[in-house]
């Protein structure tokens, strides 16, 4: 049946399939380069610029010490690396916990009245003099080689910021395992955006910038609680190049309950929607390259398409549940239903089903590639099963909520 709902679904399916094909072409164009990057570390960086890592913390008593220790064990010359801990008016024992670091010559410790993460970052930026500056959230840990991988991207003079690969710290349980696949997928897409010069997020954990960026463009902004999207968009708008060092691994502690996950994701999605709105003049402009003509519009369309396709799917599911209920209510539980007779006649070969299948296969291919990129090999585990079965049901929740908040002006909060 070809009706209006199907037509909408076809348009969105065409767009998402087109996007998948585009990403896969980009991957196959650059796969040699991706593989080579892993060997770069053996050569080592030509020189070591001075780096300051700001650790903004607000009530992070449980994780802050571990974060600092992971920074201290970075494989990087000590005289070139400075760590600046900025306590953003914590009300728990964070300030006490960080006192033990204050005599370390590599570490500076500050406290200031609470003002939000971006103020803590700007506070740190105002006090530094290094070539590069980065930030590490106090619930994240770095791999010891992460900084070296990032530094090597800066050997290209045009690169003004480098984003790392964010992975999860010891994921367990269905909720965290499905996020593991999602983060892996994020590594893949960000690397593809790197090749298209279209990275539009410099994630909070361990994105490194040339200090000049802040001198020229100004500090972080509140940016609807997603300063890491805003700064990247601002850089892109001003023609600053952002790279992605996919071998630079940063680990972050994932939300362990659905409630916390939703809260976090509503903030991210809401932040993206609002920042996209603030930077809407970049859309469809040739001068912003692939980001302007393709990536940003696609990201915005994906918000609409996820909401509408999910709504259609949910209506479909509700309809079939009602029918099944009606059937059971009318003739009782059918004991024959388990005996499944295979008959090709009843295989759904509607266009929407075939395209849906192809799109799913495309997604699966990209997930497997991303697994190879982030884990070094393709491991098929429970995480993939949780992702393929559950993600499509919970992701629309936060995207829908974020869109609702953005339309009706409900502000997102941090925690």
Binding site for other proteins (CB under 8 A): 1, 14, 17-18, 21-22, 25-26, 29, 196-197, 238-239, 286-294, 323, 326-327, 330-331, 334, 336, 345-351, 354-355, 358
- For other proteins, which is the closer residue by CB, 129 or 349? 349
Which pairing describes strands 159-168 and 107-112: parallel, antiparallel, or unpaired?
unpaired
Retrieve residue 168's tokens.
């999860």
Q: How far is the CB of 160 from other proteins (least distance, A)?
A: 12
**3-class DSSP state of 284:** coil
Shortest distance, position 213 Cβ to other proteins, whole Å: 14
Q: How many CA atoms lie within 13 A of 302 on its CB side?
A: 17
In the complex with other proteins, the residue whose CB is nearer, 313 or 385, is 313
Spatial separation of the C-alpha atoms in residues 89 and 86, rounded to whole Å: 9
Residues 6+ apart with CB under 8 A from 51: 76, 80, 81, 82, 130, 131, 132, 133, 134, 147, 151, 208
Sequence-ordered strand ranges (E) for 45-115 = 51-57, 81-88, 107-112
Distance CA 375, CA 219 (A): 35
Which of 174/289 has CB closer to other proteins?
Answer: 289
CB of 10 to other proteins, least distance (A): 8
Smallest distance, other proteins to C-beta of residue 363, A: 14
> In whole angstroms, what is the distance from residue 234 CA to residue 244 CA?
17
User: Is the CB of 238 or the CB of 413 nearer to other proteins?
Assistant: 238
For other proteins, the closer of residues 6 and 264 by Cβ is 6
Q: How far is the CB of 409 from other proteins (least distance, A)?
A: 34
Q: Between 277 and 327, whose beta carbon lies closer to other proteins?
A: 327
- How far separated are the first and last CA of the chain, in Å rounded? 46
Burial class for 10, CB neighbours closer than 10 Å (0-12, 13-18, 19+): middle
CA–CA separation, 140 vs 71, rounded Å?
Answer: 10
Q: Looking at beta carbons only, is 224 or 234 nearer to other proteins?
A: 234
Min separation Cβ 148 and other proteins, Å = 29
- Rounded to the nearest angstrom, the gap between the alpha carbon of residue 17 and the centroid of all alpha carbons in its chain is 21
By beta-carbon proximity to other proteins, the closer residue of 205 and 292 is 292
Alpha carbons 23 and 119: distance in angstroms, whole number: 36
In the complex with other proteins, which residue's Cβ is closer, 312 or 397? 312
- Picking from 243, 187, 151, 208, the residue whose alpha carbon sits closest to that of residue 376 is 187
Q: Give me the least distance between CB of 324 and other proteins, in Å please.
A: 10
Q: Which residues of 310-338 are buried (b: 16+ CB within 10 A; e: fewer)?
A: bebeeeeeeeeeeeeeeeeeeeeeeeeee
CB nearer to other proteins: pick between 193 and 206 = 193
Least separation in angstroms between CB 49 and other proteins:
24
**Residue 192 CB, nearest approach to other proteins (Å):** 11
Shortest reach from residue 396's CB to other proteins, in Å: 24
SS3 254: coil
């Amino acid at each position: 049946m070809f009706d209006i709902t199907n037509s909408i679904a076809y348009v969105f399916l065409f767009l998402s399939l087109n996007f998948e094909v585009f990403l896969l072409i980009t991957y196959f164009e650059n796969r040699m380069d991706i593989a080579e990057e892993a060997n770069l570390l053996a050569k080592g960086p030509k020189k070591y610029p001075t780096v300051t890592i700001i650790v903004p913390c607000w009530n992070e008593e449980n994780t802050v010490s571990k974060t600092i220790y992971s920074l201290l064990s970075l494989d990087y010359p000590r005289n070139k690396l400075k760590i600046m801990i900025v306590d953003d008016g914590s009300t728990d024992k964070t300030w006490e916990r960080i006192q033990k670091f204050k005599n370390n010559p590599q570490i500076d410790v500050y406290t200031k009245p609470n003002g939000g993460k971006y103020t803590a970052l700007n506070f740190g930026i105002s006090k530094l003099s290094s070539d590069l500056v980065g930030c590490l959230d106090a619930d994240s840990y770095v791999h010891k080689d992460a900084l070296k991988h990032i530094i090597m991207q800066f050997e290209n003079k045009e690169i003004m910021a480098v984003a790392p690969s964010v992975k999860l710290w010891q994921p367990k349980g269905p909720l965290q395992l499905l996020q593991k696949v999602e983060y892996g997928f994020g590594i893949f897409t960000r690397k593809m955006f790197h090749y298209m010069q279209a990275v539009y997020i410099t994630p909070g954990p361990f994105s490194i910038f040339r200090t000049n960026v802040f001198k020229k463009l100004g500090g972080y902004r509140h940016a609807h609680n997603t300063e890491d999207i805003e700064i990247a968009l601002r850089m892109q708008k001003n023609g600053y190049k952002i790279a992605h060092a996919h071998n630079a691994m940063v680990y972050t502690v994932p939300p362990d309950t659905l409630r916390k996950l939703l809260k976090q994701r509503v903030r991210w999605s809401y932040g993206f929607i609002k920042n996209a709105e603030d930077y809407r003049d970049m859309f469809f402009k040739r001068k912003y390259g692939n980001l302007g003509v393709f990536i940003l519009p696609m990201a915005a369309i994906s918000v609409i398409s996820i909401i509408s396709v999910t709504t259609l799917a949910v209506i479909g599911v509700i309809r079939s549940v009602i029918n099944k209920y009606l059937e059971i209510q009318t003739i009782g539980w059918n004991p024959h239903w388990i005996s499944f007779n295979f008959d090709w006649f009843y295989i759904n070969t509607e266009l929407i089903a075939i395209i849906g299948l192809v799109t799913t296969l495309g997604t699966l291919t990209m997930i497997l590639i991303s697994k190879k990129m982030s884990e070094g090999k393709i491991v098929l585990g429970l995480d993939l099963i949780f992702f393929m079965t559950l993600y499509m049901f919970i992701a629309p929740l936060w995207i829908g909520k974020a869109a609702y908040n953005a339309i009706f002006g409900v502000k997102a909060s941090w925690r």
